[in-house]
């Protein structure tokens, strides 16, 4: 019986990894000499011998490369360092038979903690317990951070976001997971950033997501957030639609220009928050951000870099940031933040869109849990 339980847990963990959005992998797994022979043409990461003098290795000398993938074969071969969950992925797990035990455990926990509570109260506790239960399983596999996201519907409520973050950390503590392993993922609204500021002072590290503009980046830096994830591809998508164009050169890509500006601002004024460019649509965007603190890259683009010969030169260099960013340091307060965001139609629309979509999946998850309470 013990052996069977162990096997079941192993299966659960492996299936769970299919659903996590993996942020960072160890670099050594990608470097050659590596001889790779394809096992399946469907695999995102082709197993082959990479060419010498490839762009991947050149980029790796200038920036920390992280892999953006949930591919099970990639995860097996390249052990992830960090992992992030979000409402969409938690929902997908909850409706799969393989994870019914985690759902049942969360429901049982909520009823035990609140035997006389209302259904709404029990639902809230069960939701948090399920997220932490999945996160706890992931911490058994990855050595680094696991991000757990605060309810997107709290994106405009600082006090509620702080309370929810503390509750999640408390549940992790009950599970034997120290807060040093957890990143609380919060949308980069003014209220969310203020919540992160308080949480960081308490030693609760935060991942500020849905970041599309300078005002968000400045506010996050002043709040001393651990990490921001400015998007590249989603910004480009918005401008392509607005301007009716097929694309941009890497140097003129709006997403690349946004991350470059944020990076240079941070380095010029000594901000320690990590800048991790994300959401790439093509190889050119990546190479144009060579030198950024971190870049998270999908397997298909990692393959392109690994199989392409060429020299990679630093485009971002902290020693040159002072001269490349000509503006003054911005003093951020709420009115300045809201005005700057209001003036940026792209950031306003993309931030709102992201929050709405996550909220929709939270409601779907609640329906699944409520039906079993």
Angle at 110 between CA 108 and CA 111, to 5 degrees: 65
The active-site residue, picked from 164, 185, 268, 283, is 185
Does residue 185 have an active-site annotation? yes
The C-alpha atoms of residue 168 and residue 181 are separated, in whole angstroms, by 12
- Residue whose pair of structure tokens reads 């040093």 in the numeric block: 180
Residues marked active site are found at 185
């Amino acid at each position: 019986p013990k052996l069977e339980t162990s096997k079941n847990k192993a299966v659960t963990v492996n299936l769970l990894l299919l659903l996590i959005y993996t942020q960072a992998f160890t670099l050594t797994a990608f470097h050659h000499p590596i001889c790779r022979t394809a096992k399946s043409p469907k695999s995102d990461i082709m197993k082959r011998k990479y060419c010498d003098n490839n762009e991947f290795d050149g980029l790796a000398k200038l920036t920390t490369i992280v892999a953006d993938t949930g591919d099970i074969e990639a995860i097996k071969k390249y052990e992830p360092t960090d992992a992030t969950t979000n409402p969409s992925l938690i929902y997908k797990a909850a409706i799969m038979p393989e994870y019914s035990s985690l759902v049942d455990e969360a429901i049982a926990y909520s009823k035990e903690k609140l035997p006389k509570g209302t259904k709404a109260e029990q639902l809230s506790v069960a939701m948090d317990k399920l997220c932490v239960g999945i996160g706890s399983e992931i911490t058994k596999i990855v050595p680094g951070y696991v991000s757990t996201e605060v309810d997107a519907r709290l994106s405009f409520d600082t006090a509620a976001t702080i309370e929810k973050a503390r509750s999640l950390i408390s549940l992790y503590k009950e599970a034997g997971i120290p807060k040093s392993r957890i990143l609380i993922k919060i949308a980069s609204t003014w209220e969310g950033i203020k919540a992160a500021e308080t949480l960081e002072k308490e030693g609760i590290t935060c991942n500020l997501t849905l970041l599309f503009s300078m005002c968000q980046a400045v506010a996050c830096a002043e709040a001393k957030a651990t990490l921001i994830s400015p998007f590249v591809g989603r910004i480009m998508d918005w401008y392509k639609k607005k301007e009716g164009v097929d694309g941009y050169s890497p140097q003129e890509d709006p997403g690349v220009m946004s991350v470059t500006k944020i990076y240079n601002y941070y380095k010029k004024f000594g901000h320690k928050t990590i800048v991790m460019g994300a959401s790439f649509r093509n190889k050119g965007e990546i190479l144009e951000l060579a030198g950024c603190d971190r870049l998270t890259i999908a397997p298909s683009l990692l393959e392109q870099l690994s199989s392409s010969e060429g020299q990679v030169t630093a485009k971002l260099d902290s020693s040159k940031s002072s001269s490349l960013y000509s503006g003054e340091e911005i003093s951020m307060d709420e009115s300045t933040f809201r005005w700057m965001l209001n003036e940026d139609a792209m950031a306003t629309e993309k931030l709102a869109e992201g929050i709405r979509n996550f909220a929709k999946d939270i409601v779907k998850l609640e329906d699944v849990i409520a039906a079993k309470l």
